[in-house]
Amino acid sequence: MSSPSAEASSSSRTRQPNRFSAKGKNVVMTSHGRLPWYSPEGKNIEAYVIGIAGGSASGKTSVARAILSALNYVPTVLILSQDSFYRKHTQEEIDLAFKSDLDLDHPDSIDTALFAKCLADLKQGRACEIPVYSFVHHQRMPETKYLYGANVIIVEGIMALQSADMRALYDLKVFVNCDSDLMLARRIKRDVKERGRDVDGILDQYLRFVKASYDNFVQPSSKHADIIVPGSSNQLAIDLLVSHIKDQLDNRSLRFRSRLGRDGQSRPLANGKTQVTPSNNTTHTFGDTDEDSGVILLEQTAQLQGIMTILRDCETERGDFIFYADRLSTMIVEKALSLLPHEPHRVQTPVGMSTEGTISMQEDLVGVSILRSGGPFSHGLRRVVRDVPLGAMLIQSDPKTGEPILLSLDLPQSVKNGETSKTVRALLLDSQMGTGAAAMMAIRVLLDHGVPESNIIFLAFLISRRGLTTIRRAFPSVQVVTAAIDPDLYEMHLPLGNAVLGEAAGEGDYSITVVEHDTLGLQRLNLKGDGGDSGFEAGSSLEGYRIDNQNPNQVIDSDRPDSGSGSGFGERRDAGQETWSPTKQQVEELKFSRDRKDSMKEVKQKRAWVVSPGMGHIGDRYYLA
Ligand SMILES: Nc1ncnc2c1ncn2[C@@H]1O[C@H](COP(=O)(O)OP(=O)(O)O)[C@@H](O)[C@H]1O
Ligand SMILES: O=c1ccn([C@@H]2O[C@H](COP(=O)(O)O)[C@@H](O)[C@H]2O)c(=O)[nH]1
């Protein structure tokens, strides 16, 4: 163990840059978005919780931050400090604290009940508002801090192992054991620098309260620890701790979008895609099963069918697509609003007559779009309910695994607030539901914030039968309003992004031939070299893929047996018919693709689930020219 003086001189010589803010001890580290934190049945899987106790300045926060850094591959790791849970003090207590006369080291100085409740909420995946405490003012501040979405929670504090209620919530209990002189020396330095204290006050407080508390409460709580970590020269101990935590987390990892998609019958298609349909699906009509009971399918009028035909048609121009998508979203929103409670309302008409009508209860209504596809819906919603608070969730698929990832969250204030969320009625907006994985994630987020399941209405232009089954099983009280239920779902491996993939040629003359148009407007290209000094010989060829910018949502599957004209897949095109000389930009893209070939080896394709007959990628068709 290093002596205080050795540590003091070494720390002043080699000051390490701190990755995390010194202000406030509650640190949230997020990276890479958040993978599902619940089972395929939609039930939350608990966060992994580590409790770290030890004397004041023993190094608890430093150990917690070292673990947090080492877990940088985990989406959200949170350090929850006991400091936030000091009780609210009266003015008299604050005056005593400034005279170092208030005992802030007794277990009763902590609001353990609130601490345990917040931790239990976060562990269960629920959002939580925690208090903010100021060491400079010795007081709880008026503001609170919103926390949500931790996969790993590290709790640290002198009393972290003291209460049985808290201990019951830990998966791993750690005690940081440090020499008392070293702790005192560190505390003096830290409290002068960071907590606005003077040395006399620090020593008075230490001799009156801190030392006694350590001997009577803190040190004895070490008997509950699973692991004792030294308070200095502890890198090896931290490494062992981290490796243990990583093993525990690996055992909990989830992979389930593929399971959602594959639950039904699947059959490989000639073109390498996989068709998935639920086992009971082939002759299914709406209303056949219990799962349809919570689903409101818009009345299939000729007018609606006309709109759907235009939207499904891959030849529809973007301007028309936007117009009819906006129209459809308005119709679906109107239908959803009819599900809200209404109450009688008497009015005077301009001709002086009194008449009885109804008024829709919309005060607690919010709209939350699942981006990007849910974006078009917000126009429809705003048109019908002008001032409705809107939020958004960005949920994308992991290109390698196809798993949904929550990338960002912007919820209306009434949802974030645990008090008001209980009465919120939420319209969850997405243009289509495929496997149901993104819908499930979005519903889970609302439930985690306290919105009742029966107050959630999911709105979509179309949903797949498979997705509907998934959502109805997981969340039977969520209502679904849609214009169509499509029978099929395909798993596809699509080239990633806009860049052309495949090994590209060097400089020189060559032409590109479209070999195949694929769903979502992808083209399989064949490059033919015309010779010259490029080294790309005449007659040699290579293949790649790119998005057809002229027609980004061409929905054509030439390998599909029933994909002729009128099949809902659009017109069949013969392969190899289009040939053109590439533009300068296309040549650059190809070169870029070649240069990145090595780095793209691992993630060349993304997995995607495509609803059929569907409308293609509705977000792309709406937003991209
Ligand atoms: N292993 C260590 N080696 C050197 N200094 C340390 C070590 N751990 C903590 N310290 C220093 O001791 C002081 C108190 O550490 P901190 O982690 O804030 O303690 P606690 O959270 O237990 O009160 C800080 O200034 C920190 O830089
Ligand atoms: O207003 C306050 C509240 C607490 N303290 C002291 O803080 C330590 C615990 O924090 P560590 O970060 O674990 O050191 C405790 O010993 C209290 O005496 C304070 O000085 N003022």
Tell whether ligand 1 has an atom less than 6 A from the beta carbon of residue 61.
Answer: yes
pLDDT of residue 524: 53
- Are the C-beta atoms of 45 and 38 separated by less than 8 Å? yes
For ligand 1, whether the C-beta of 190 sits within 6 Å is: yes
Atom 8 (ligand 2): residue with closest C-alpha? 56
Which atom of ligand 2 is nearest the CA belonging to 60?
Answer: 13
Ligand 1 pocket mutation pick from 9, 62, 179 by most atoms within 8 angstroms of CB: 62
Identify the nearest ligand to the CA of 138 by its number. Answer: 2
| pLDDT class of 267 with cuts at 50, 70, 90 | very low
Specify the pLDDT at position 362: 76
The average pLDDT across 221-231 equals 95
The β-bridge relationship of strands 522-529 and 510-517 is antiparallel
pLDDT at position 354, please?
A: 86
Task: Note the ligand closest to the C-alpha atom of 1.
Answer: 1
DSSP string across 119-137 = HHHHHTT--EEEEEEETTT
Confidence of residue 229 (pLDDT cuts 50, 70, 90): very high
Q: H/E/C letters for each residue in 159-182?
A: CCCCCHHHHCCCCEEEEEECCHHH
pLDDT digits 0-9 by tens, 338-356: 888 877 888 898 888 888 8
Cα 533 to averaged position of ligand 2 atoms, centre (Å): 75
pLDDT (average), residues 500-514? 39
Any ligand 2 atom below 6 A from CB of 109: no
Higher pLDDT, 34 or 313: 313
**Ligand 1 pocket residue status of 58, Cβ below 6 Å:** yes
Q: Is the CB of 102 under 6 A from ligand 2?
A: no
Per-residue pLDDT, 34: 81
pLDDT at 574: 35
The C-alpha angle with vertex 585 and arms to 584 and 591, in degrees rounded to 5, equals: 95
Between CA 213 and CA 105 the distance in angstroms is 6
Please provide the DSSP assignment of 279-318 as one string.
TT-TT--TTSSGGGGGEEEPP--HHHHHHHHHHH-TT--H
**Ligand closest to the CA atom of residue 79:** 1
- Whether 232 is in the pocket of ligand 1, judged by its Cβ within 6 Å, is yes
- Under CATH, what is the fold of the domain 4-11+19-250? Rossmann fold (3.40.50)
Q: How confident is the model at residue 625 (pLDDT cuts 50, 70, 90)?
A: low
In a 3-state reduction of DSSP, which class is residue 263?
coil
528 C-alpha to ligand 2 centroid (Å): 73
Stronger pLDDT, 285 or 85, i.e. the higher one: 85
- Ligand 1 pocket test, candidate residues 3, 186, 192, 222, most atoms within 8 A of CB: 186
Asked if residues 529 and 590 have their Cβ atoms less than 8 Å apart, the reply is: no
Whose C-alpha lies nearest to ligand 2, atom 9? Answer: 56
Name every residue whose Cβ is closer than 8 Å to that of residue 136 and which is 6 or more positions away in sequence: 195, 196
Determine if ligand 2 sits within 6 Å of the CB of residue 57: yes
| Average pLDDT over the chain, rounded to an integer | 77
CA dist 87 to 109, 141, 154, Å?
Answer: 6, 11, 21
The answer to whether residue 263 scores a pLDDT higher than 50 is no
Structure tokens at 136: 């400079």
Ligand 2: centre distance to CA 479 (Å):
50
The region of weakest confidence among 284-288, 350-354, 406-410 is 284-288
User: pLDDT at position 257, please?
Assistant: 44
- Percentage of the chain lying above the pLDDT 70 cut: 69
Cα 363 versus chain centre, distance: 27
Q: Tell whether ligand 2 has an atom less than 6 A from the beta carbon of residue 210.
A: yes
Under CATH, what is the fold of the domain 292-341+360-486?
Answer: Rossmann fold (3.40.50)
Q: Which tokens is 463 given?
A: 């949903």
Q: Tell me whether domains 4-11+19-250 and 292-341+360-486 share a fold.
A: yes
What are the sequence ranges of the domains in the chain? 4-11+19-250, 292-341+360-486, 497-603
pTM over 0.80: no
- Give the least confident one: 48-57, 473-482, 519-528, 554-563: 554-563
* 299 C-alpha to ligand 1 centroid (Å): 66
List, for residues 81-109, the tens digit of each pLDDT value: 999 999 999 999 999 999 889 999 999 99
Band the pLDDT of 416: cuts 50, 70, 90.
very high
* Statement: residue 549 has pLDDT above 50: no
The pLDDT of residue 252: 67
How far does the centroid of ligand 2 lie from the alpha carbon of residue 215, in Å?
16
| pLDDT confidence of residue 16 | 32
What does DSSP assign to residue 513? E
Half-sphere exposure of residue 516: CA atoms within 13 angstroms, side-chain side = 13
Query: For residue range 561-574, what is the model confidence (pLDDT) as tens digits?
Result: 222 222 222 222 33
